[in-house]
Structure 1
Amino acid sequence: MNTDTDIPTRIMSAADALFEQGGGIQFPTVDAVRKAARVSMNDASQVMKAWRRAHLAGPKPAPVDVPPALQDIHRAGLEALWRAAQHHASQSIANMQVAWDAERAETEQLNREMVVAFEAQAAELEHSNNERAACRQRIAELEAEAHAHLESMSRMSSDLSAAQAEVRTQSARAVEIQRRADELRTELDRTHAANAPQAAKDAASQTELAAVRAEMLHLMQMVSGAIGGRIPATKDYSEGKRQ
């Protein structure tokens, strides 16, 4: 588990690694170090200031023991030493000025990088907020569509129930009509069966009548032949038919 004391160490390690990867030519940006160390922007910026100052200052000179002969020369040539001291002081001031200018430039660069990083984060946050808003709007639209579909399905279910009820009613009517038709057919068959003997009797009478007519025609033809054809057979048949 990471603690607060681990944060500077991780930032320094990440900065050293990125600096070495870049060939030791250009300092890594705060945002790159922040991402590599997985820390906040404030922690990264604070530690990176110290890291850059340490790299700009360079190694400290090792202390040197002044030998006695040099001390004698120093005492003898105080004026020369004073001039050398003044020159050294001037050089130190110049070096400090250069270091201060470099640190100020580095600080300004760091501030610019922080501004760019914060603006990038703000843009990402705004983009994420817009996407979330679009998602919420789409969810609301889908919920409205689902509600409309549910209402449509409810209406269709009601219509289906009404249609099924109508089908049951028509089916019952069809059954009743079929039952009535069966009753009428049975009644008609019964009527035909009751009239069958009379129909047979009429048919027998017609057959008998036809036989009598044929016999009469035969007799008339015989009589006509006997009397020499003076009585027309057709006339006698007609008269017999009228009788």
Structure 2
Amino acid sequence: MSQLVTPILADVRERIIQAANDLYKQAGRQSFPTVDEVRRYARVDMNAASFIMREWRRAQSVQAAPVAVHIPDAMVKANHQMLVALWTQAQELANESLRTAQSAWDTERAELDEMRQELAYAYEAQAAEFDLLKSQAADAAIAHQEAAKLAADELAGIRTELAQSLTRAERAEAQVGEIDRRAADLRTELDRAHEEIYQARSALANQQKLTLSITAESNNTKSELTKALVAAEALVEAHQEQRSIATQELDNQKKQLDQAIQSAANAREHAAELVGKFLAMQEQNAALLARLGPNNDLTLR
């Protein structure tokens, strides 16, 4: 069966021959390089390397030199027996040439068998390399899939954590808003307490003024009573008759004094009640300040 041979470019042929010569020289001209070695060295395809290597090996083989049959002049003059002997010798020489050609053909066939074996080994090596590359590609694809799945899982986890963080942040923001609202309410209550304390202080001050006024009035009353007693004693001494009148007036003054003292006592009790309310408001204010904490200290009005 004839095969269609693809034309080989001149530069490819030169590279293959140069690679074969270099490798043959490196081997000390003891053994021919293999087709696969030449293919790798020249960086060509297997078909071109095998085709050119057949030519290169054939050129390196020792060709059988043709034996020239020449009858010497002396033999022309010899007798028939000599011619027969010479013919026999010529046949032997021809047979020798045939054996030499047969040996060369056997050598070439052996080289072709060796090259065929080398091609088979090279094909198997390439197939093994291809299987290895295919296996590595499959492993790389599996590793890529696993890495992609791991990255997707990590991304999903990060998204979940981010959603949870956003939820916690929203809850914290709501709690902060609630705390701010409660703090505003507490500030309002504190301001109201401050206002009540201010009013209580004003009422206490007014009550203190009233108490001082009552005390001053009581002192004036005592002074007038003393004067009245002196005048009464003088009147008693001067006018015995008017003792009863003076006693009457003294009783009246005593009643007025008792009333004034009672009013002062009532005023003191009212002032004590106001002071108690003020102290209770102070305790409530201190409790409110304690609930607000040290960072929300408010100065009393």
Q: What TM-score does the superposition give when structure 1 sets the normalisation length?
A: 0.72
1:103 aligns with 2:108: yes
> What is the RMSD of the two structures over their aligned residues, measured on CA atoms?
3.6
Q: Is the 8 A contact 1:74 1:81 kept in 2?
A: no
Q: 1:152 to 1:71 in 2, by over 3 A?
A: same
Q: In the alignment, which residue of structure 2 is the partner of 1:241? A: none
What amino acid is the match of 1:113? Answer: E
Question: Match for residue 69 of structure 1?
Answer: 73
| 1:199–1:21 distance in 2 versus 1, CA, 3 Å | same
- Report whether the alignment pairs 1:79 with 2:87: no
Residue 14 of structure 1 aligns with which residue? 19
Gaps of 5+ in 1: 213-243
Q: Distance in 1 between matches of 2:93 and 2:25?
A: 34
- Match for 1:42: what amino acid? N
> Unaligned 5+ residue runs, structure 2?
1-6, 220-301
1:1-243 aligned within 5 A: 4-58=9-63, 60=65, 69=73, 72=76, 77-199=82-204, 201=207
Q: Distance in 2 between matches of 1:55 and 1:74?
A: 43
SS in 1 for 2:61: helix
Counterpart amino acid of residue 49 in structure 2? A
**Which digits, 9 at most, give the CA deviation of each residue in 1:153-195, with x for residues without a partner?**
2222222222222222112211211111111112112222222
CA change 1:119–1:3 in 2 (3 A) is closer
Percent same amino acid among aligned pairs? 29
Number of aligned residues: 214
In the TM superposition, residue 136 of structure 1 has moved relative to its aligned partner by 0.9
User: Considering only CA atoms, is the larger Rg found in Structure 1 or Structure 2?
Assistant: 2
Q: TM-score, normalised by structure 2?
A: 0.60
Question: Quick one: structure 1 residues 40 and 203, their matched pair in 2 at CA, closer, same or farther if it must change by over 3 Å?
Answer: same
Q: Aligned residue for 2:242?
A: none
Structure 1 contact 12–47 (Cα < 8 Å) conserved: yes
Helix, strand or coil: the match of 1:39? Answer: coil
Question: Shift in Å at residue 125 of structure 1?
Answer: 0.6
> Could you say what secondary structure the match of 1:57 adopts?
coil
